[in-house]
């Protein structure tokens, strides 16, 4: 057993009733609290970013292929893409699904209310995962019949217009200088709590837009490309651009919704601020505890120096002691953070106002990487902080410290 380990071990066993013991406990609990706050902050903010991103992507897609031109904001120039190009895009690494789509702006009217809407048409084989997840009543529409008038509207829109599943609603669309009316049957209600989209989008078969615009079955507004991993958006975007003709526009969801993603990226600065503050708190706690221990054991330091121990050796003794303090705090903090994250993830104990936060509970993204990185970073910061008070050992005079004792 090394000399430093032996002294540190005896040191830990014999200081249970010392003056520094309460301060050591405070340091342990402070580090644990700091780790809990840092892990919870990262998990919650990352969870919030992920929830909003999933909702924005759900109403659109990760990548969109369409014509460069458009008739107006919600009437695009149709495209016809050959099957070989679509197969090439669908076979790219990271691409999970490719589906046609079309938008059409209109007005949904009841006897007492009128609401501007965006009709989004989806074709056969569309990925229903997103809307199935957020369906609160009824069912999804069918796409087998191109003439189907089934649609899904949001819970918010249904409340505003006094609609419900099984009811019919009349919608008016501008086509050229005239308008055309369509009667839709509401088969389902969805709710994402993202008011910017819930207040306007109704979802139905693609055939309705094709017939309104006189396109035929082979023309669509564009194609949505869904990915397996949002983190691979940029490299996959480059690959999709390489697989499509140059006369088509290929854009990512970040380009489609720049303000939304700029706001989400801004949240990262909050994470950095919280991590910095709590790391400083942990560092101050361990510095205070180590200084008190050094002051309390001044006579012991003098004796060790008299017996021939070097300053570096004695410093390692105290650093071992402080390392145990930091390690206990980190372990306790990780255990508490994991427990709180699991409870919130399973039972949604902390609720939110969906009108303000676009979700009705605090989301948590539990990722072991966050725990490991924060724990290691806390350990490194505390170790660096411990070097400052340990330099005081070199200034202790053995003769004076022993004489005082």
Do 227 and 187 share a structural domain? yes
Q: Which residues contact 6 (CB under 8 A, 6 or more apart)?
A: none
Angle at alpha carbon of residue 234, lines to 231 and 238, rounded to 5°: 145
For residue range 115-132, what is the model confidence (pLDDT) as tens digits? 999 999 998 889 999 999
CA atoms within 13 A on the CB side of 86: 13
Residue 276's pLDDT is what? 92
Q: How many other C-beta atoms lie within 10 A of the C-beta of residue 221?
A: 27
253, 60 contact by CB (below 8 A): yes
Question: Given a cut of 80, is residue 300 above it in pLDDT?
Answer: no
As a whole number of angstroms, the distance between CA 349 and CA 234 comes to 36
186, 170 contact by CB (below 8 A): no
Percent of the chain with pLDDT over 90: 62
Would strands 168-175 and 135-138 be described as parallel, antiparallel, or unpaired? unpaired
Question: Given a cut of 80, is residue 214 above it in pLDDT?
Answer: yes
Do 278 and 206 share a structural domain? no
Do 338 and 201 share a structural domain? no
DSSP 134: T
As a whole number of angstroms, the distance between CA 139 and CA 136 comes to 9
The partner residues of 104 in beta bridges, in order of sequence, read 119
Residue 64 resides in a domain: no
Q: How many domains does the chain have?
A: 2
Question: Given a cut of 80, is residue 285 above it in pLDDT?
Answer: yes
- For the residues of 361-390, what is the DSSP string, one character each? B------HHHHHHHHHHHHHHHHHHHHHHH
User: Which of 246, 281, 306 is at the close of a domain?
Assistant: 246
Q: Which residue has the higher pLDDT, 12 or 344?
A: 344
The partner residues of 224 in beta bridges, in order of sequence, read 64, 99
Residue 301's pLDDT is what? 76
Residue 321's pLDDT is what? 80
157, 196 contact by CB (below 8 A): no
Do 87 and 35 share a structural domain? no
User: Which of 246, 271, 306 is at the close of a domain?
Assistant: 246
Do 291 and 202 share a structural domain? no
Centroid of chain to Cα 89: 27
As a whole number of angstroms, the distance between CA 368 and CA 375 comes to 11
Residue 84 resides in a domain: yes
What are 191's two structure tokens?
Answer: 């709710």
Residue 197 is part of which domain span? 69-246
Do 99 and 241 share a structural domain? yes
């Amino acid at each position: 057993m090394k000399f430093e380990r032996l002294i540190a071990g005896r040191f830990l066993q014999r200081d249970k009733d010392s003056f520094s013991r309460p301060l050591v406990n405070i340091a342990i609990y402070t580090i644990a609290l700091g780790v809990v706050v840092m892990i919870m902050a990262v998990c919650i903010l990352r969870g919030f970013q992920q929830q909003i991103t999933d909702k924005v992507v759900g109403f659109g897609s990760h990548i969109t292929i369409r014509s460069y031109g458009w008739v107006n904001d919600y009437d695009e120039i149709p495209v016809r893409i050959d099957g070989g190009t679509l197969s090439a895009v669908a076979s790219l690494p990271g691409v999970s699904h490719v589906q046609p789509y079309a938008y059409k702006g209109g007005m949904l009217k009841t006897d007492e209310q009128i609401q501007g809407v965006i009709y989004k048409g989806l074709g056969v084989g569309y990925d229903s995962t997103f809307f199935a997840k957020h369906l609160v009543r009824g069912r999804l529409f069918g796409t087998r019949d191109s003439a189907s008038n089934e649609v899904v509207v949001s819970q918010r829109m249904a409340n505003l217009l006094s609609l419900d599943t099984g009811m019919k609603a009349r919608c008016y669309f501008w086509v050229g200088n005239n308008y055309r009316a369509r009667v839709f049957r509401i088969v389902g209600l969805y709710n994402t709590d993202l008011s910017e989209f819930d207040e306007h989008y109704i979802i139905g078969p693609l055939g309705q837009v094709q017939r309104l615009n006189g396109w035929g079955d082979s023309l669509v507004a564009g194609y949505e490309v869904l990915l397996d991993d949002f983190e691979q958006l940029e490299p996959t975007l480059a690959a999709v651009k390489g697989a499509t003709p140059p006369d088509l526009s290929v854009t990512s969801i970040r380009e489609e919704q720049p303000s939304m993603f700029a706001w989400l990226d801004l949240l990262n600065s909050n994470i950095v601020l919280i991590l910095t503050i709590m790391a400083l708190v942990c560092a101050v706690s361990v510095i205070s505890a180590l200084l008190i221990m050094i002051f309390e054991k001044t006579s012991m330091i003098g004796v060790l120096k008299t017996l021939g121990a070097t300053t570096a050796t004695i410093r390692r003794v105290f650093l071992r002691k402080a390392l145990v303090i930091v390690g206990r705090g980190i372990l306790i903090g990780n255990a508490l953070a994991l427990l709180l994250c699991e409870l919130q993830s399973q039972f949604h104990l902390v609720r939110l106002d969906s009108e303000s936060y676009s979700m009705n509970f605090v989301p948590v993204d539990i990722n072991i990487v966050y725990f490991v990185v924060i724990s290691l970073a806390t350990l490194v910061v505390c170790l660096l902080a411990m070097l400052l008070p340990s330099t005081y050992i070199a200034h202790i005079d053995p003769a004076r410290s022993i004489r005082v004792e």
